Chains A and B, each alone.
Chain A
Amino acid sequence: EDKVVQSPLSLVVHEGDTVTLNCSYEVTNFRSLLWYKQEKKAPTFLFMLTSSGIEKKSGRLSSILDKKELFSILNITATQTGDSAIYLCAVPWGSSNTGKLIFGQGTTLQVKP
């Protein structure tokens, strides 16, 4: 059965800390892995990863994919209170071009001042 597993499920840090969020997957016909940030209702897109070992970076956030070991990490450096959110990892599944996503459980990050 296809699945996506995130860890930790929750994390509390202080401003300025660096955090690493993990996502492992078992999905047939793997094509890509996506990271989202969910603050209220709608997830907002962070990264899409398709190739192993190529880091994607956006400001203080970065992510990398390891297709051999079937996992991805999301790093946030110099965390701020505005980073407090649920971080979701998702993988498209099913036959190509179906557009369906299977989500991990999410990591709830709380950044304290």
Chain B
Amino acid sequence: SAVISQKPSRDICQRGTSLTIQCQVDSQVTMMFWYRQQPGQSLTLIATANQGSEATYESGFVIDKFPISRPNLTFSTLTVSNMSPEDSSIYLCSVEVAPGQGNYGYTFGSGTRLTVV
């Protein structure tokens, strides 16, 4: 089954700075997904990262705030730019696991807990 390595695991950042989160998958996947989970809330999709094309952002999320890179089929980064305390959340990347690859469904990275002070 697909295994995702996500880092950093956690960080405390000053407002106005940026943080880049990385996800590495142990197999090639077409699409990778980035989610945000604000304190006490459920997961909300930020964007879909496609290899070789611009990421597709969901309503309420913009590229200037959350630029995404997808240089190849196993790797993606999400940057949280010009951070404010409202960006304090858990950020998660995810891929879809196809049938026959063990844990069918959607697999998540270990998550990044971001605190902005």
A-side residues, CB < 8 A to B, are 34, 40-45, 48, 88, 90, 98-106
Between A34, A42, A98, the greatest number of chain B beta carbons within 10 A of the residue's beta carbon is seen for: A42
Between A40, A41, A88, the greatest number of chain B beta carbons within 10 A of the residue's beta carbon is seen for: A41
Please tell me the number of chain B residues within 8 Å of chain A, measured between CB atoms. 25
- Give 19 new A-B contacts, CB below 8 A, not counting A42-B108, A103-B43: A41-B111, A41-B112, A41-B113, A42-B92, A45-B103, A45-B106, A45-B107, A48-B104, A90-B43, A99-B31, A99-B95, A99-B96, A99-B106, A100-B33, A101-B33, A104-B42, A105-B41, A105-B42, A106-B42
Enumerate 10 A-B pairs (CB-CB under 8 Å) in ascending A order: A34-B106, A41-B113, A42-B92, A43-B43, A48-B104, A48-B105, A88-B43, A99-B106, A101-B43, A105-B41
Which residue of the partner chain, among A42, A88, A106, contacts B109 with CB atoms under 8 Å?
A: A42
The answer to whether B43 touches A42 (Cβ under 8 A) is no
Q: Is B74 an interface residue (CB 8 A)?
A: no
Q: Interface residues of B: mostly helix, strand, loop or mixed?
A: strand
Q: Interface residues of A: mostly helix, strand, loop or mixed?
A: strand
The answer to whether A98 touches B48 (Cβ under 8 A) is yes
Which residues of A lie under 8 Å from residue B113 when comparing CB positions?
41
The answer to whether A41 touches B107 (Cβ under 8 A) is no
Closest to B6 in A: A42
Q: Is B79 an interface residue (CB 8 A)?
A: no
Which residues of A lie under 8 Å from residue B44 when comparing CB positions?
103
The answer to whether B48 touches A99 (Cβ under 8 A) is yes
Chain B residues 61 to 113 lying within 8 A of chain A, measured CB to CB, are 90, 92, 94-96, 103-113
Which residues of B lie under 8 Å from residue A105 when comparing CB positions?
41-42
Q: A88 vs B31: C-alpha distance in the bound complex, in angstroms?
A: 22
Q: Is B45 an interface residue (CB 8 A)?
A: yes
Q: How far is the CB of B31 from chain A (nearest CB, A)?
A: 5
Which residues of B lie under 8 Å from residue A45 when comparing CB positions?
103, 105-107
Q: How far is the CB of A23 from chain B (nearest CB, A)?
A: 12
Which residue of the partner chain, among B45, B90, B109, B110, contacts A101 with CB atoms under 8 Å?
A: B45
